[in-house]
Amino acid sequence: MRPEYKEKTGFRLDTSGQKFSYSIVADKAFLVLPSDRTNPISHPNIKQSKYSYLLRPGEKKPATDAKAEILSEINKRLTTLRKVAITQPNRSNVKTNIEDDSDPLINFGTAEQRKKVEMAAEEAATAYLDELGYTVVRRSDEKIGYDLQAIPKDGGQDLYVEVKGTSGSISRFFMTPNELLFLTAKGWRFALVTDALTKPAIEFLDRRQFKARFDLQPGVWIGAAKEN
């Protein structure tokens, strides 16, 4: 047991100024980030009790059909969450705003996770644009303010597409200074791919639709000494 739980003193505070009130120990653990906790389980047979045994020790199958249905649904959700869950979470592979505030992208998963989501989102957006009749050139690695250049196969205006992806269903993303500057360019488009790793769903917006759909807020400030 951690000392503060025994001594009742020395508790850390969370971001809202409240004490952490519980501690969990396990040989193997998995963390699902808050952004991926978007699909609560609901079933007519789930009551308002604190807990329910779906499968008791020694049982090979649930005692009732209702419990079997609930267990089956939970297993389906777990299969989906395994694709985004972080195994054995610790300070090196999970960034939190309590333990490390030096990374402005802490709420978007680890760098490795973000890369997986980014690549999956670009693949989905490329397939979408191909169906619309565009030849797609990937520009992500050039860091010039957009990810894909969509060239019409039958001629016309090129589109310059900024692609963002999420591992869950929440429409949330970050933008770099270059991406924000390029937003005013002619032919700019925005592709948001939710559930990019499992069942990609795409929103494709022009600048007017983008501004009507989203609010942009600064996530980090850079401090520099003033020139005399």
Lowest pLDDT segment from 79-88, 124-133, 144-153:
79-88
Q: List, for residues 22-75, the tens digit of each pLDDT value.
A: 667 788 888 888 777 777 777 777 766 667 788 888 888 888 888 888 889 888
Q: Which domains does the chain have, with CATH numbers?
A: 108-213 (3.40.1350.10)
N-term to C-term CA, the chain: 54
DSSP state of 48: S
Which tokens belong to 84? 């985004």
Give the integer Cα–Cα distance in Å for 54 and 75.
Answer: 12
- H-assigned helices in the chain: 3-7, 65-81, 111-131, 177-182, 207-213
Q: Quick one: pLDDT at residue 20?
A: 62
Q: What Cα–Cα distance (Å) separates residue 171 from each residue in 125, 151, 184, 191?
A: 15, 27, 21, 11
Sign of CA dihedral 174, 177, 178, 179: positive
The answer, as to whether pTM is greater than 0.75, is no
CB-CB contact of 140 with 123 (8 Å): no
Q: Mean pLDDT throughout 99-110? A: 57
Give the integer Cα–Cα distance in Å for 200 and 117.
Answer: 10
Which tokens belong to 18? 């409240």
Q: List, for residues 156-198, the tens digit of each pLDDT value.
A: 899 999 999 988 887 888 888 889 989 999 999 999 999 999 9
Amino acid in the structure at residue 32: V
Distance of CA 228 to the CA centre of its chain: 43
Q: Quick one: pLDDT at residue 100?
A: 47
Q: What Cα–Cα distance (Å) separates residue 51 from each residue in 24, 47, 54, 87, 188?
A: 17, 9, 9, 25, 51
